[in-house]
């Protein structure tokens, strides 16, 4: 592995940084009966759907495409259900 000098004759190993996984995706109900897929920490939804089933499917597809390890489904009663990806 290559080294680079820090100061004088002290050297530091250049090691690759471990990649952070993408933040989880959340399936959330909206106020008018629809469902949104939102990445944690973002304001805008990735997609909007008429059914929870469609939203879950879209979230799992997006998670697989982006190597996101977690999808969390929030039901209308504020319960949380992790979803397998």
Summarize pLDDT for 54-82 with one digit per residue, the tens: 999 999 999 999 999 999 999 999 899 98
Q: Tokens standing for 56?
A: 């879950």
Percent of the chain with pLDDT over 90: 68
Average pLDDT on 26-47 reads 96
| Per-residue burial over 35-62, b = 16 or more CB atoms within 10 Å of its CB, e = otherwise | bbbbbeeeeebbeebeebebbbebbbeb
Mean pLDDT on 38-60: 97
CA–CA separation, 4 and 52 (whole Å) = 53
pTM: 0.75
The percent of residues in the chain predicted with pLDDT above 70, rounded, is: 79
């Amino acid at each position: 592995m290559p080294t680079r000098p820090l100061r004088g004759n002290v050297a530091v190993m250049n090691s690759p940084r471990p990649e952070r996984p993408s933040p989880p995706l959340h399936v959330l109900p909206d106020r008018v009966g629809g469902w949104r897929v939102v990445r944690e920490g973002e304001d805008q939804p990735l997609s909007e759907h008429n059914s929870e089933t469609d939203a879950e499917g879209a979230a799992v597809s997006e998670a697989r495409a982006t190597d996101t390890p977690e999808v969390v489904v929030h039901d209308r009663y504020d319960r949380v259900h992790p979803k397998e990806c």
